[in-house]
């Protein structure tokens, strides 16, 4: 310890260099935009009809119900939970609401409540389902997967029980309105969807309560330690999920002019696929609603292109499923991260 | 100390009420009693140390004091007023800020957002640019050199710890708890933290400080409380209890810590050889020969590259150039290759790379030796339990049973499981990164004793550590500075030499 001489300090912090990457990774929000462009080009090549405004409007409108479910599921997934029962709510909510207002002769329950109640009732059913899911999962600490799988079956069963397995055709005007109305030249359902996504993107991106959902999905204990009321936020998320599913059911009912006994059946796979293709992680805390929206659009375009290309109806499902799997693999490649 | 207790009961009329008081707190987890009628009160403006062996109940008391867990019995008061209701998280947050022992960083969010979690704005939409600027200013103030826009998950252990500290200290509460904040920091960062703490103390902020380094307790604290086996043992001004008395209170026995016995290493060809090993800007041109049975310490500051070097040997990173060979044959890339070559690693981050939290202690401890627990890959549960129970006994792991999930262990006990597991494979080379971080004074001895006996059996040990007590067990100590080995100290070094070398100041006598 006699003479001391400072060794040259080459200030090259390891972290800085290594940490410039993640910013780019966040660009993966836009990762699907090239895919969408490619699909549009492919569509235009296959059939000139593809680019007509009528076809585009049609594609978008067909995707509105799915996109509302994806919106709901994406928020729930970001919060680190699951909801499989959304697809049953799509059927049950409008079915129960309609059954309560139409006469028994048209397969109603016979209560014949005032028909303007149909829409509020429908949303109320969605809200109640979401609240009940939240109760079981958050209060009683049951597994979200099993609870919502159970609810998926129970709700579907309820719908069949209530309607006697029949489709409901005699719908009140109010129920038909949203699925058919045209506002400023575009179907109302597209407007509704666009506005809800805009609100969702703003809340999850720029508001404290929205960011809380990310924090909860990322590390629940840390979120609690930071003063976030984890259960309250997640409960709200489940309720919003139920409401969106009921709204999706309403739009579908209006568009198709009836409540089918199997309305919404099998949608949940596509919902998850769209969310994951859009970069939402099944593990929670990762992904954006914009990404999820891109996921929906990609699937919608693929579906439309398959139809225009004249793929036979018997094969379309297998091919569609296959393409979703391929899309998942491509998304894995372009984002470079495991879809956990 | 009886005064303190009466105050805790709330009957002290003359003195101002304590900033924080916990009264007769009892907390049980199933069959384990983590706290049993513990009363502590902390006078406003003082820095209070909480010490005790691993599993004594310190962190449990912290979670009761921050409202994360509700005590089974007993009450908490802040400044004489009863604590907020358990669901009133905002109320708790106004009273107390905390650096928890377990990481509360959210990996998928940016550093800036982690710093301002749940207080990104005062209302209205978040202004991300402004948030990043505020975060940048805060990080600069705390000397943390990371980009506020980076993902927190890409930070190393030390940087994450610094972010947590900056967050807790900047919340503006009058009471701050620091649960083993120094366990993962290097000397410079610790000094900086202590500087901060002194400034806060001067401003009248009350602090509760937990550490297994009694030196630090004497350095920054005014009073100290000792917990042992879930019970309160003593509360005294630090000036009134000597080091040995403190250790005796913690362990319940008045035995001296043993001296490090000298050992000799037989001359033999090296078991591990590094030649010109280089990785980007982490480390450059590392040459090293490790003989069987030799214990070599590696130390340096956070940016010295010592952790990256150890992780490279364990297969977690890949060097850009140079070679690693064990007993003369080159080691391939990746963890399986390293394991096959006989290199065992105790990683730095036990939560991320070390343990599977929901598996039992037995399963975690025997993960790499599953093939030895029964024929043809079948794991015979009875054999596994037997092996695990032996480990629990030998390494003094405090757990309800070998079947309890690792997530329920206290921080120091989880660390012991990681080390027990690394030793279970009888590796030819054992690479340890901060093996005694968060381990109490006595357990440290038994852990290092286990490492030593492995070395006596012929295992070459490379121990990366900032702890002088760990390094004292080594036959020689390499000091790294900005990616290069700048000094080699042979046995008999004194503390000042190591400190100087770590700071990048070479002293003539030390270099060889
Ligand atoms: N969630 C839990 N479930 C079951 N047991 C627990 C849980 N949390 C803590 N314990 C037990 O309570 C006891 C006290 O743990 P605690 O974490 O408070 O110890 P500590 O004093 O902080 O130790 P360390 O110095 O190792 O951090 C330990 O025996 C631990 O196993
Ligand atoms: Mg602890």
DSSP string for A158-190 = HHHHHHTTPPB----HHHHHHHH-EETTEEHHH
Cα(B480)–Cα(B115) distance, integer angstroms: 31
Give domain status of residue B383, yes or no: no
Asked if residue B163 belongs to a domain, the reply is yes
My answer on whether B245 and B161 are in the same domain is yes
* Of residues B213 and A30, more confidently modeled: B213
A19 in helix, strand or coil? coil
Greatest mean pLDDT among A70-84, B82-96, B298-312, B393-407 lies in A70-84
Among candidates A19, A215, A285 on the partner chain, residue whose Cβ is nearest the Cβ of B118: A215
pLDDT single digits (tens) A269-322: 899 989 988 888 888 888 899 999 999 998 899 888 888 888 887 887 888 888
Q: Is residue B345 located within the same domain as residue B443?
A: yes
Looking at residue A1, its pLDDT comes to 37
Nearest CA in chain B to A11: B482
B76 versus B406: the higher-pLDDT residue is B76
Q: Is the pLDDT of residue A119 over 90?
A: yes
* Shortest Cα–Cα distance, A25 to chain B (Å): 10
Structure tokens at A249: 């059911």
Contact A91, A248 (CB under 8 A): no
Instruction: Quickly list H helices, A79-172.
Output: 86-101, 118-134, 144-163
The lowest-confidence range among A157-161, A315-319, B99-103, B475-479 is A315-319
- Output the pLDDT for position A3: 39
**B10 has pLDDT over 50:** no
Q: Are B287 and B295 in contact (CB under 8 A)?
A: no
Per DSSP, B17 falls in state P
Given this model, what pLDDT does residue A31 score? 75
B460 pLDDT above the threshold of 50: yes
| Residue to substitute from A3, A8, A14, interface B, most B β-carbons within 10 A | A14
**Shared-domain flag, residues B161 and B244:** yes
Domain check: are B244 and B283 in the same one? no
Distances from the Cα of B69 to the Cα of A3, A229, B81, angstroms: 55, 14, 19
> B150 C-alpha to center of ligand 1: Å?
33
**First-to-last C-alpha distance (Å) of chain A:** 54
Q: Do A15 and B146 touch (CB under 8 A)?
A: yes
Q: How far apart are CA B357 and CA B350, in angstroms?
A: 10
- Total tally of structural domains belonging to chain B: 2
**Predicted local confidence at residue B312, as pLDDT:** 93
Same domain, B233 and B296: no
Tell me what the mean pLDDT of segment B291-311 comes to.
90
Q: Do A211 and B126 touch (CB under 8 A)?
A: yes
Measured between beta carbons, the chain A residues lying within 8 angstroms of B63 are none
What is the 3-class SS of B255-317, one letter each residue? CCCCCCCCCCCCCCCCCEEEEEEEECCCEEEEEEEECCCCEEEEEECCCCCHHHHHHHHCCCC
Do B297 and B436 belong together in one domain? yes
| A214, pLDDT greater than 90 | yes
User: Is the pLDDT score of A230 beyond 80?
Assistant: yes
> What's the pLDDT band for B104 if we cut at 50, 70, 90?
very high
Tell which wins on pLDDT, A339 or A230.
Answer: A230
Structural domain boundaries, residue B318:
272-354+426-502
Q: Which atom of ligand 1 is nearest to the CA of B409?
A: 31
Give the class (CATH, top level) of A33-335. Answer: mainly alpha
Query: Of all atoms in ligand 1, which is nearest to the CA of residue B61?
Result: 18
Give the mean pLDDT of chain B.
86
HSE of B381 in the Cβ direction (CA atoms, 13 Å)?
Answer: 3
> If you measure from the C-alpha of residue B57 to the centroid of ligand 1, how many angstroms do you get, rounded to a whole number?
6
Residue A137 is predicted with a pLDDT of 94
Q: What is the CATH number of the domain that holds B329?
A: 3.40.50.300
Q: Where are the domains of chain A?
A: 33-335
Confidence of residue A100 (pLDDT cuts 50, 70, 90): very high
Q: Are residues B175 and B92 in the same domain?
A: yes
Q: Which of residues 492-511 of B touch A (CB under 8 A)?
A: 496-497, 500, 504-509
Mind listing the pLDDT tens digit for each residue in A20-34?
333 444 555 677 888
In a domain, B179, yes or no: yes
More confident residue, B249 or B512: B249
**pLDDT category, B43, cuts 50, 70, 90?**
very high
Contacts of A215 in chain B (CB under 8 A): 106, 109, 117-118
DSSP conformational letter for A137: I
The H helix count followed by the E strand count for chain A is 15, 3
B353-395 per-position pLDDT tens digit: 667 777 888 888 887 776 677 676 677 788 888 888 888 888 8
- Give the DSSP letter string of B78-95: ETTEEPPPTT-HHHHHHH
Q: Are residues B458 and B320 in the same domain?
A: yes
What does the DSSP 8-state code read for residue B187?
A: H
Q: How far apart are CA B36 and CA A138, in angstroms?
A: 30
Tokens standing for residue B418 = 């990681």
CB B478 within 8 A of CB B90: no
Provide the chain B residues 158-177 that lie in CB contact (below 8 A) with chain A.
159
Any A CB within 8 A of B105 CB = yes
From A227, A230, A205, A229, select the one nearest A217 (Cα to Cα). A230
pTM strictly above 0.95: no
Q: What's the whole-number average pLDDT of chain A?
A: 85
Nearest ligand 1 atom, CA B35: 14
Whole-angstrom Cα distance, residue B325 to residue B308? Answer: 17
Question: Rounded to 5 degrees, what angle do the CA atoms A189, A195, A197 make?
Answer: 100
| Nearest CA-CA partner of A98 in A177, A184, A168, A26 | A168
Those of residues 192-211 in A touching chain B at CB distance below 8 A are 202, 205-208, 211
pLDDT of A338 > 70? The answer is: no
B197 and B321 share one domain: no
Question: Residue A85 pLDDT more than 90?
Answer: yes
Instruction: Looking at the structure, tell me whether residues B219 and B285 fall in a common domain.
Output: no
Kindly report the protein residue whose alpha carbon is nearest to atom 12 of ligand 1. B34
What is the SS3 string spanning B128-182? Answer: HHHHHHHHHHHHHHCCCCCCCCCEHHHCCHHHHHHHHHHHHHCCCCCEEEEECCC
User: How confident is the model over B44-57, as a mean pLDDT?
Assistant: 93
Whether B349 and B229 share a structural domain: no
Angstrom distance (rounded) from CA A102 to CA A91: 17
Domain assignment of residue B118, yes or no: no
Give yes or no: residues B237 and B278 share one domain: no
Instruction: Report percent pLDDT > 90 for chain B.
Output: 43
Length of chain A: 340
DSSP B234: E
């Amino acid at each position: 310890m006699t003479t001391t001489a400072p060794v040259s300090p080459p200030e090259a912090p390891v972290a800085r260099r290594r940490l410039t990457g993640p910013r780019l990774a966040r660009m993966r929000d836009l990762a699907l935009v090239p895919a969408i462009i490619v699909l549009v080009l492919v569509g235009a090549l296959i059939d000139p009809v593809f680019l007509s405004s009528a076809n585009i409007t049609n594609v978008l409108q067909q995707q509105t119900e799915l996109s509302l479910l994806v919106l709901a599921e994406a928020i729930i997934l970001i919060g680190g939970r699951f909801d499989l029962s959304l697809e049953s709510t799509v059927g049950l909510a409008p079915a129960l609401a309609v059954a309560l207002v139409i006469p028994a002769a048209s397969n109603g329950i016979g209560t014949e409540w005032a028909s303007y109640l149909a829409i509020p009732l429908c949303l109320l059913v969605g809200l109640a389902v979401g609240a009940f899911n939240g109760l079981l999962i958050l209060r009683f600490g049951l597994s979200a997967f099993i609870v919502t799988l159970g609810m998926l079956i129970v709700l579907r069963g309820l719908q069949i029980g209530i309607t006697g397995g029949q489709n409901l055709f005699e719908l009140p005007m109010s129920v038909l309105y949203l699925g058919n109305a045209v506002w400023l030249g575009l179907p109302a359902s597209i407007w509704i969807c666009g506005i809800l996504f805009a609100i969702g993107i703003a809340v999850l991106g720029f508001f404290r309560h929205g960011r809380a959902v990310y924090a909860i999905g990322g590390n629940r204990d840390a979120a609690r330690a930071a003063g976030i009321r984890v259960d309250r936020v997640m409960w709200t998320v489940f309720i919003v999920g139920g409401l969106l599913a009921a709204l999706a059911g309403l739009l579908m009912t209006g568009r198709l002019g009836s409540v089918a006994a199997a309305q919404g059946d099998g949608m949940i796979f596509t919902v998850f696929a769209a969310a994951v293709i859009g970069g939402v992680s099944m593990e929670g805390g990762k992904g954006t609603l914009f990404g999820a929206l891109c996921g929906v659009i990609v699937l919608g375009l693929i579906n439309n292109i398959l139809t225009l290309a004249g793929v036979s109806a018997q094969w379309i499902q297998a091919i569609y499923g296959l393409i979703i799997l391929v899309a998942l693999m491509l998304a894995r490649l372009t984002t470079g991260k495991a879809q956990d | 100390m009886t005064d303190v207790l009466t105050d805790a009961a709330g009957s002290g009329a003359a003195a101002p009420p304590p900033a924080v008081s916990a009264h007769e707190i009892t907390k049980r987890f199933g069959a384990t009693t983590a706290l049993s009628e513990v009363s502590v009160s902390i006078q406003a403006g003082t820095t209070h140390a909480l010490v005790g062996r691993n599993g004594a109940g310190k962190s449990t008391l912290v979670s009761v004091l921050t409202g994360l867990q509700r005590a089974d019995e007993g009450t908490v008061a802040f400044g004489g007023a009863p604590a907020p209701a358990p669901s009133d998280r905002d109320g708790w947050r106004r009273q107390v800020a905390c650096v928890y022992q377990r990481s509360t960083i959210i990996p998928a969010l940016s550093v800036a957002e982690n710093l301002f979690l749940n207080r990104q704005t005062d209302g209205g939409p978040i202004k991300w640019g402004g948030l990043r600027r505020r975060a940048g200013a805060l990080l600069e103030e705390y000397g943390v050199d990371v980009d506020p826009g980076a993902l927190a998950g890409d930070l190393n252990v030390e940087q994450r710890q610094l972010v947590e500290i900056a967050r807790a200290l900047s919340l503006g509460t009058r009471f701050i708890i620091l649960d083993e904040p120094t366990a993962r920091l290097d000397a410079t960062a610790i000094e900086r933290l202590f500087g901060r703490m002194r400034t806060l103390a001067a401003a009248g902020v009350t602090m509760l400080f937990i550490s297994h380094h009694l030196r630090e307790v004497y350095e920054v604290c005014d009073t100290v409380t000792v917990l042992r086996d879930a019970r309160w043992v003593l509360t005294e001004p630090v000036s009134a209890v000597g080091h040995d008395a403190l250790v005796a209170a913690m362990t319940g026995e008045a035995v001296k810590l043993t001296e490090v016995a000298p050992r000799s290493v037989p001359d033999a060809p090296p078991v591990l050889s590094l030649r010109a090993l280089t990785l980007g800007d982490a480390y450059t041109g590392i040459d090293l020969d490790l003989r069987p049975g030799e214990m070599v310490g590696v130390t340096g500051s956070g940016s010295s590259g010592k952790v990256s070097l150890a992780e490279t040997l364990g297969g977690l990173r890949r060097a850009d150039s140079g070679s690693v060979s064990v007993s003369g044959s080159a080691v391939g890339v990746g963890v399986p290759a390293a394991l096959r070559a006989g290199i065992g690693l105790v990683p730095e981050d036990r939560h991320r790379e070390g343990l599977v939290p929901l598996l039992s202690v037995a399963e975690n401890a025997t993960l790499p030796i599953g093939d030895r627990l029964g024929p043809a890959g079948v794991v015979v549960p009875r054999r596994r339990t037997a092996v695990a129970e032996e480990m629990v006994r030998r390494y003094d792991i405090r757990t309800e049973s070998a079947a309890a999930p690792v997530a329920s262990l206290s921080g120091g006990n989880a660390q012991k499981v990681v080390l027990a597991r690394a030793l279970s494979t009888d590796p030819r080379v054992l690479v340890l990164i901060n093996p005694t971080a968060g381990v109490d004074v006595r357990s440290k001895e038994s852990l290092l004793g286990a490492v030593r006996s492995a070395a006596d059996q012929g295992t070459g040990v490379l121990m990366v550590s900032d702890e002088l007590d760990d390094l004292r067990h080594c036959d020689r100590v390499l000091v790294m500075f900005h990616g290069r080995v700048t000094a080699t100290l042979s046995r008999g070094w004194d503390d000042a030499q190591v400190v100087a070398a770590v700071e990048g100041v070479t002293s003539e006598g030390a270099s060889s």
